[in-house]
């Protein structure tokens, strides 16, 4: 299995430690795991980071990216920026070259979010500059994905890059851009040199009668939900071909959780992704 594939979110519900995820990655022939703000890293715990880094080193596993879900554009921006700077220290201990975090947790009603768009944008840009500069002092580059309604889509992300005025990297998230009803293919074409990391996931449209947990509303009032990679409508193969053609040599992180321990869907996704990137 390729060393350029890694697990992002835990493949199986019920996992409680990054040691379990590292062990599973090794069992599946992988050599990388993307960190997230859960398990040992539910808080920015430097001692835990040292312990997990030692275990990962012993098992031959690296952390190509450390990611967080947070809001640095809302009313708690100052506290969350301070917390992110602590997580940058965690990422440094883990040996991760990249710190990735969301900017605005704007996954609710799109009209409510868009009514506050300019305020969210201004605060988000200011916060990102602070986080970027601190992470850079530790030798870590901050990177950002197409996410939500304010910083998403080709035009929205370009505006973000121009305003931040830092050497931020981009994460090609294959699914998030569906919230503004664009394709990750368009995102890759627009930012081929900025993309340094990729989150591979798949989505499918759902009717209003099918709306349930895990569904997301788009900017135009439609709905989508996450499905097993390769079974939805995201143009995954085309996106990977474009990344490869652009010279991309980063990791493809699987952002998907199986239904239960040993769920064969995890192996199916790994097999498909291996075929797509080879």
Paired residues of 62 in beta bridges: 32
pLDDT class of 256 with cuts at 50, 70, 90: confident
Other C-beta atoms lying within 10 Å of the C-beta of residue 78: 12
What CA–CA distance (Å, rounded) separates 259 from 257? 7
Alpha helices in the chain (DSSP H): 18-27, 46-59, 77-94, 110-114, 117-137, 153-164, 184-190, 236-245, 264-277
- Mean pLDDT taken over the chain: 94
pLDDT class of 3 with cuts at 50, 70, 90: low
What CA–CA distance (Å, rounded) separates 167 from 179? 26
User: Nearest CA to 237 among 203, 273, 205?
Assistant: 273
pLDDT digits (tens, 9 = 90+) for 173-228: 999 999 999 999 999 999 999 999 999 999 999 999 999 988 999 999 999 999 99
What CA–CA distance (Å, rounded) separates 264 from 228? 11
What CA–CA distance (Å, rounded) separates 20 from 10? 9
Q: What is the pLDDT of residue 1?
A: 47
User: Nearest CA to 35 among 251, 227, 272, 248?
Assistant: 251
Tell whether the model's pLDDT for residue 2 goes beyond 60: no
Q: Any idea which fold 5-277 has?
A: TIM Barrel (3.20.20)
pLDDT digits (tens, 9 = 90+) for 42-63: 999 999 999 999 999 999 999 9
pLDDT digits (tens, 9 = 90+) for 257-267: 776 677 889 99
pLDDT class of 14 with cuts at 50, 70, 90: confident
What CA–CA distance (Å, rounded) separates 243 from 234? 15
Cβ-Cβ contacts under 8 Å for 23 (sequence gap 6 or more): 59
> Is residue 248 helix, strand or coil?
coil
pLDDT class of 13 with cuts at 50, 70, 90: confident
The single-letter DSSP state of residue 114 is: H
Q: What is the pLDDT of residue 135?
A: 98
| 230: enclosing H helix or E strand | none
- In this prediction, residues 152-171 reach a mean pLDDT of 98
What CA–CA distance (Å, rounded) separates 90 from 84? 10
Domains of the chain, residue spans? 5-277
């Amino acid at each position: 299995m390729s060393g350029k594939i890694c697990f992002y979110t835990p493949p199986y519900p019920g996992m409680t430690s990054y040691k379990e995820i590292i062990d599973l990655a090794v069992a599946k022939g992988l050599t990388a795991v993307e960190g997230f703000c859960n398990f040992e890293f539910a808080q920015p715990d430097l001692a835990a980071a040292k312990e997990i880094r030692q275990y990962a080193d012993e098992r031959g596993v690296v952390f190509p990216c450390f990611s967080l879900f947070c809001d640095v554009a809302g009313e708690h921006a100052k506290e969350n920026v301070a917390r992110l700077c602590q997580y940058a220290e965690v990422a440094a201990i883990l040996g991760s070259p990249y710190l990735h975090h969301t900017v605005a947790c704007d996954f609710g009603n799109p009209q409510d979010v868009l009514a506050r768009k300019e305020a969210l944008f201004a605060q988000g840009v200011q916060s990102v500059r602070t986080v970027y500069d601190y992470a850079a002092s530790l030798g870590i580059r901050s990177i950002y994905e197409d996410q939500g309604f304010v910083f998403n889509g080709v035009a929205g992300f370009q505006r973000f890059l121009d305003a931040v005025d830092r050497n931020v990297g981009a994460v090609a998230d294959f699914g998030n851009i569906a919230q503004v009803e664009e394709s990750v293919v368009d995102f890759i074409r627009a930012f081929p040199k900025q993309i340094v990391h990729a989150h591979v996931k798949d989505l499918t449209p759902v009717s209003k009668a099918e709306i349930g947990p895990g569904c997301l509303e788009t900017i135009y009032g439609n709905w989508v939900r996450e499905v097993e990679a390769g079974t939805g409508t995201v143009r995954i193969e085309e996106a990977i071909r474009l990344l490869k053609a652009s010279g991309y040599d980063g990791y493809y992180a699987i952002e998907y959780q199986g239904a239960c321990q040993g769920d064969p869907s995890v192996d199916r996704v790994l097999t498909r992704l291996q075929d797509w990137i080879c």
